[in-house]
Each structure stands twice: as C-alpha cells, then as structure tokens.
Chain A
Amino acid sequence: MSALRTGRYHPLAELRDEMDRLVGDVFGALPRTATQNLPYLPLVGNRPFPALNVWTTDDAVYAEAELPGLSEADLEISVMGNELTIKGQRPDIEQEGVKYHRHERGVGPFSRTVRLGVEIDADHVEATLRDGVLLLKLPKAEAVRPRKIEVKTRG
C-alpha cells in the first residue's frame, strides 16, 4: 500500500547545487522584494510556485511544471540568455452568493525565474500545456552540445 503523502515533498534539495544558483533563491526564505511584488505567492511547504522539474539530455534542457487550471492565455513564458521565466495568473472563480467550505487552491499571479545550467537556443524553445502540465523543451545552443570526437588511427 502506497504511503499517502500530504502535499508534495522531495528531499533532493542538494541537487540544486548542480545548477547555477537560482535567481531569487527559492529554497528557504524568499527575498523581501519577491514577496512584495506578488500580492499572492502560493507556497507549497515553503517552496515557491510553480514547483519545477528540470532535466537534460544531450540536445536539450526540459522543464516541467504542474499548473492546473491555467490555459495558454494565462501564461507568459520567456527566455533571456540562460534564464527561464514562467509567469502567470490563476484565475479566480469569485461568484455572487458563493460560500467556501474549503479554499486550498491558490489564485492570483505568480512569477518564477530560474537560471538553466547551459546556454539555450532561445529561438527554438517549445512549450506544450496539457491537462495542467506545462512541458518546455529548450534546445541547447550548438556550441554546448556534446560532440563525439572521432579518433583516427595514426601511421
């Protein structure tokens, strides 16, 4: 029987040191300016929103985030140099004469910037949003792709 966990937690915080330090330190206390800019900053266990998974292959960096309730129109994704910014707004469902018994789903604006470890070809970034999962494919710039070096025999 699987363990039932509340919310989400991943203990591999130490992996972040493999990446360049994130712009706006996302673990632990947030810088003052970040919280002032955002009237509502949803946190899941003291981590910012959205939580990100980032992985690499030889050709590209992939970034995934869970963003339920958002459509393309609610999102703004940009790449500058090797910095990726995901900005958006979760729409509110304020209605007349509605009473909340429970209100756990955050609403409002969010913005998160991460520095990717490698140089990206910003002109060829692809983004798909499906069933609330955002997947970004950020191709590595030509210069940083691993190259096979052919060894020729001598003599």
Chain B
Amino acid sequence: MATEFNPHEPPEAEVGHAEPTRSGPVFRPNVDILEKADELLVLADVPGTQSDKIDIRFENGMLTIHAQVEPRQDDKTEYQLHEYESGDFLRTFRISEEVDPSKIGAEYADGVLTLHLPKSEAARPRKIPVAGT
C-alpha cells in the first residue's frame, strides 16, 4: 500500500482546483502518515487556521490539503525576533486507489489536521481460513 509523496507542486490541471489568488508565502506542512489495519491516518501540522478555512480534495488519486491562514501581525510590527512567517499551507499526496474516497473523514484540533482514509474492502487484511481434511 503505497502513499507516494509528490515533492513537486503538481500542475493545476492535475490538482483540478483554482489557483490560490492570495499573495504571500505558502508553506508545506509537516505530516505523519500512518498505516493501520483499516485505514491510513494523515496528521498535518497546520497551526493558525480554522476548519472552515481548510480545503481537502481527493481526485484522480491525489489528495490535496490547502489551509488558509490569516496574517496575525501587520507590516508595522516592531520585531525583536522574527524567526518565522505565517502563510497558507499547501501539500499534495498521491494516494493509492485502495482508499475508499467516499469515507474520508477530517478533523481539526489544536492546530493539527487529522485525515482518516479508510481502506476499501478489497485492501483490508483478510484472514484466510484453512479448511481441515
């Protein structure tokens, strides 16, 4: 069961949604991808957004996460230390066809987006009973 990460931003046609029109930096969130017996779990660090600002699309085997982040300081801020910028989050994954797309669930809490990608029936591990003679 492979989930390949596509390190290159895919062409818009492949992703299939409108190019983001907001200016400003865009960041690639850190993720964990875990495989359990019945599902894949994707956890993405996307602090500073809200559940209604997160767009998740799954099409043609590509899962795209796009979270809008409002700037929290303005241009006039007098920084003593400025180690990071805020900006939208965007990342795309190739997900194998063994995921049932109609059952993908998502929740957002404490700045972490959790995606549940249930495996389709065919992909679940099966115990094969062995008949005796």
Contact = CB atoms under 8 A, between A and B. Distances in A.
Interface of A: 1-8, 10, 12, 15-16, 18-19, 47, 51-57, 61, 64, 66-71, 93, 95, 97-106, 114, 116-117, 129, 131-133
B23 to A, nearest CB: 6
A105 B32 contact: yes
- Size category of the B interface is 35 or more
A53 B83 contact: yes
Contacts of A53: 73, 79, 81-84
A27 to B, nearest CB: 9
A61 B81 CA distance: 11
A10 B50 contact: no
A129 B48 CA distance: 10
A129 B85 CA distance: 18
Nearest to A74: B110
A8 B110 contact: no
Contact of A133 (B40, B43, B111): B111
16 contacts: A2-B87, A4-B26, A5-B25, A8-B84, A51-B83, A51-B84, A52-B84, A66-B45, A68-B47, A100-B32, A101-B3, A102-B31, A105-B32, A105-B45, A106-B30, A131-B47
A69 B45 CA distance: 8
Contacts of B84: 8, 10, 51-53, 66
B28 interface: yes
Contacts of B32: 93, 100, 102-105
Contacts of A132: 45-48, 110-112
Given A99-B34, A133-B48, A116 B20 contact: no
B47 A66 contact: yes
Scoring A67, A93, A132 by chain B CB atoms within 10 A of each residue's CB, the highest score goes to A132
Scoring B35, B48, B81 by chain A CB atoms within 10 A of each residue's CB, the highest score goes to B81
